[in-house]
Amino acid sequence: MLHKIVFNPLVQLIFVMVMASSFHSQLSDETIRFFLTISIFLKETLTFILPFLLFSFIATALSSIPRGGMFFVLGLMAMIFLSNFLNILVSGGIGFFLLSELKTSCIGGNATYLQPFFHIHFPPIAESGTALLVGVVVGFANSIYPHKYASAIVKFAHDLILKFMKKIFIPLLPLFVGGFLLKLCAEGRMTGFVEHNFRVCAMMCEFLLCYLILWLMVATSFQWKEIVRVTKNIFPAMLAAFSSMSSAAALPLSLEAAGKNTGDKMLANAVMPLTLNFHMLGDTILVPIMAMLVMLAFNHPLPSVENFIMFGIFFVLNKFAGGGVPSGTIVVTIPVLKKFLGFDDSMIAFIVAFYGVMDPLATAGNVTANNLFVIIFQKITNGIKIRFQKREFV
């Protein structure tokens, strides 16, 4: 039990944040620069790995689509894409409204500016967007015309990157965040952020809850008895997701809940695993607001509508490449945050830590919405079937 608590990512990130804010003044500049050097090295390593991650993960996901069920899967993935993108647009609108109406506290600073001892820069093999598009092409081509060697290469790359992320980078995530947080604290740029922005964070969480309730109302056609029944079935999966911060850990309970809610276990078994890693309402609602909050906190202007839309498109596309990686949502979003929202290294470290704290709520939101998504998907497909049957009868 103690081992699980100590190695829990949320516990580790909170510990690092508390230690950095409490004891940074007792550390020498050289010590902080040492940790900062480690953080920047890990950041460069991640930046170098990300194109391989995006390519291998999305190619693997699309290669696994059975040829006979391609239209079903593509239709489902299109719905997931549209749902995620709509969530981002709604989140962006609420975020602009919240942050324009409420006062947020900027992260201040002083004359001190710490630099790492050295800076290793790995030459990029490819842009993340290019790797994503190549992965899509390779995945679809291998799904339509399966090739033994192509499948083996894609799977080998996928397994290798996944092992690196799980065994090396994710355990070092506290170090990745810690060096940048020590730098921010030593430079006096963290003063009062949590206290002054607590109201904004609370309202962000309240909005997520209200949005999930709206989804519940739509899925149950606003029928009170159905609302109670569906909520009762989903609650165990939601609780498991919140406590474990893992949609995969809650999958058995989600499958059971989806089977009960739809009365169709075959549909539940087909749809739920696909939504598990790709349809993430909690992330698509919380991350855009968090990103804008961090931008204002670092005296960075909010993005233009065009930049935010481009951020939303690539954020949603990257969702298809983050499955199976711990903290995959924020990890694969790093290049998108940099390119379209202008994030620097300190902002990246800050939002990674911020996301780590919010992860239980985001995961619970993901799992809850995925269970509701299955119900809505069943209603849409049943409606299409009925329409086709009427046309055939006429």
Q: Any idea which residue has 């209603």 for tokens?
A: 379
Ordered DSSP codes for 218-270 = HHTTT-HHHHHHHHHHHHHHHHHHHHH--TTTTHHHHHHHHHHHHS-HHHHHH
Q: Is residue 175 within 8 Å of residue 42, measured between CB atoms?
A: yes
pLDDT at 207: 93
- Please give the Cα distance from 73 to 47 (Å, whole number): 31
Q: Within 13 Å and on the Cβ side, how many CA atoms surround 92?
A: 20
pLDDT reported for residue 111 = 46
Give the H/E segment covering residue 101: helix 70-101
Architecture in CATH of 2-107+115-393: Orthogonal Bundle (1.10)
- Cβ–Cβ under 8 Å, residues 271 and 374: yes
Distance CA 96, CA 288 (A): 10
Among the listed residues 98, 96, 99, 85, the one whose alpha carbon sits nearest the alpha carbon of residue 304: 96
How high is the pLDDT of residue 360?
84
For residue 207 the two structure tokens come to: 């909005």
- How many other C-beta atoms can be found within 10 angstroms of the C-beta atom of residue 18? 10
pTM above the 0.85 mark? no
The radius of gyration of the chain's CA atoms, rounded to the nearest angstrom, is 22
Residues contacting 43, CB < 8 A, separation 6+:
176, 345, 348
Where exactly are the structural domains of the chain? 2-107+115-393
Nearest-CA neighbor of 326 among 172, 165, 184, 198?
165
- Mean pLDDT by runs of 10 across the 394 residues of the chain is 64 80 84 88 84 81 68 80 93 85 56 72 76 81 83 87 82 83 74 66 90 94 93 91 76 87 84 79 92 87 91 84 62 86 87 84 92 91 60 46
For residue 86, the model assigns a pLDDT of: 94
